[in-house]
Structure 1
Amino acid sequence: MTSGWAADLLLGCTVLLGASVQRLAGIGFALVAAPVLVLLLGPAQGVVLSNCAAGAISAVGLAGSWRQVRLTAMLPLVGAAACTVPAGSWVATRLPEPTLLAGLGALVSGAVLLVMSGARVPALRGVRGAFAAGAVSGFMNSSAGVGGPAVSLYAVNAGWTTREFVPNAQFYGVLVNAFSIAAKGVPRLTGPAWLLVAAGITAGAVVGKALADRVPERRARRTVLLLALAGGLTTLGKGLWGL
């Protein structure tokens, strides 16, 4: 749990950065923020806070774009994720902290590298691909807080444009994070920490929306992925050091 104003302030800044990224790109909160939140709060509390904040910022973005959601395409993703979230939660509560840190770092780093490569995976096409991506995403979201990359890879292989992807990713983010929170509960934070988290989400939504009109998509995406890779490798290193 966070202790002291400096740690709470760092927590709020991390949420602000992650929320800005999520509002800008549709995904990315957990990739950028989860490794830092885990280092600040520990694996269990850091992941569930990532779920709470990512779900909240997804809901903010979805409020203005829900009409663009492809429900028929999203139902297999959401249904498969709902089935694997409990398994991810079970794993997260039973592994020792160094193992969880190493696993989270490896998952984030590997997911970022796959997304950066623009990997084309025939198994991630069609309804079967949606079920596969949703199942992997649900497990990763509940256990490590990083469900977005699997959905992003599905979208790449389905040929979705960024404009199509963002509202659907926000819709998915609201539901899969709600499933994860239902399985694990809410994080235990102090009152000031909760206030800073709420302020970070609010400010991040404003900043992300403003940046969306000014920052070229390719540059923004590359910056997000590089930040996420740095965080993933740092978390992996700390986990391996503790083993």
Structure 2
Amino acid sequence: MTGGWAADVLLGGIIALGASVQRLTGMGFALVAVPALVLLLGPAEGVVLANCAAGVISAVGLVDGWREVRPAAMVPLVLAAACTVPAGSWTAARLPEPVLLVGMGVLVSAAVLLVMRGARVPALRGVRGAVAAGAAGGFMNSSAGVGGPAVSLYAVNAGWTVREFVPNAQFYGVVVNAFSVAANGVPRLAPPVWLLAGAALAAGTVIGKALGERVPERRARQLVLALALAGGLTTLGKGLWGL
């Protein structure tokens, strides 16, 4: 449950914003939504709701792009993620909330900064790189709800174009979020809140598609990363305040 109608409206707005940026840029739902959901619902509920919503929005995006998925790259990524998702869930379940908030804030902020820089890491190339990125992404996704940046860094080092990255990232999002939901369970929300979340997800998808025809992709990605960095730093600050 959330904390009343105002919190429910805020929850819907967060999900709609995350869905719109995901549809607009092919990435960003978790980066934008997780810090806000964690602050609104708490770390455990915020992460699992983000896992559910990100999995759905990735599945919707994959409908048109599944033919572009690269199995040779995705198989080691998702298998490695499957191995580390339980470890992420175990870790998150045992940390005090302030420590978990600090960890989430650090992970989100560091991931955003690495993606902004387009970091080149030789270890993130080839099959070995896919395994490393998948393992890191699985752990981060189940513990903090943000597994996408690891795949983004792998794509940068593999030399993928945006056109190549989007369907593969969506495939990864479907599979890894399914693993994470299986490990963490689903959030305890009232049926009306679930309906609100579904409506917000649909509305955000429509808005993102409409904006995609008007907003340059580079500018949209910069906005997503700026919002994500602000959210990560806010989460970090709240965690430090609670220590």
TM category (shorter chain) comes to: over 0.9
Cα distance between partner residues in 2 of 1:204 and 1:156: 27
TM-score (norm 1): 0.99
* CA-atom RMSD in angstroms: 0.7
Pairing of 1:167-186 with structure 2 (within 5 A): 167-186=167-186
Pairing of 1:55-70 with structure 2 (within 5 A): 55-70=55-70
Gaps of 5+ in 2: none
Checking the alignment, whether the CA contact within 8 Å between 1:89 and 1:143 is kept in structure 2 is yes
Once the 2 structures are TM-superposed, how far is the Cα of residue 192 of structure 1 from its aligned partner?
2.0
The residue identity in structure 1 corresponding to 2:100 is L
- SS across alignment from 2:9: helix
Cα distance between partner residues in 2 of 1:179 and 1:110: 24
- Consecutive aligned runs of 4 or more in structure 1 exceeding 3 Å deviation: none
- SS across alignment from 1:64: helix
TM-score (norm 2): 0.99
Once the 2 structures are TM-superposed, how far is the Cα of residue 65 of structure 1 from its aligned partner?
1.1
Aligned to 2:163: 163
Aligned to 1:235: 235
> Percent of aligned positions with the same letter in both sequences?
79
Gaps of 5+ in 1: none
* 1:77-114: CA deviation from partner (whole Å, max 9, x where unpaired): 01100000000000010000000111101100000000
Pairing of 1:36-185 with structure 2 (within 5 A): 36-185=36-185
Cα distance between partner residues in 1 of 2:158 and 2:213: 26
Once the 2 structures are TM-superposed, how far is the Cα of residue 146 of structure 1 from its aligned partner?
0.3
Cα distance between partner residues in 2 of 1:217 and 1:14: 21
Cα distance between partner residues in 1 of 2:193 and 2:138: 27
Once the 2 structures are TM-superposed, how far is the Cα of residue 125 of structure 1 from its aligned partner?
0.4
Once the 2 structures are TM-superposed, how far is the Cα of residue 213 of structure 1 from its aligned partner?
2.1
The residue identity in structure 2 corresponding to 1:239 is G
Aligned length: 243
Once the 2 structures are TM-superposed, how far is the Cα of residue 193 of structure 1 from its aligned partner?
1.4
* 1:107-155: CA deviation from partner (whole Å, max 9, x where unpaired): 0000000000111000000000000000000000000000000000000
Cα distance between partner residues in 1 of 2:191 and 2:10: 15
The residue identity in structure 1 corresponding to 2:153 is L
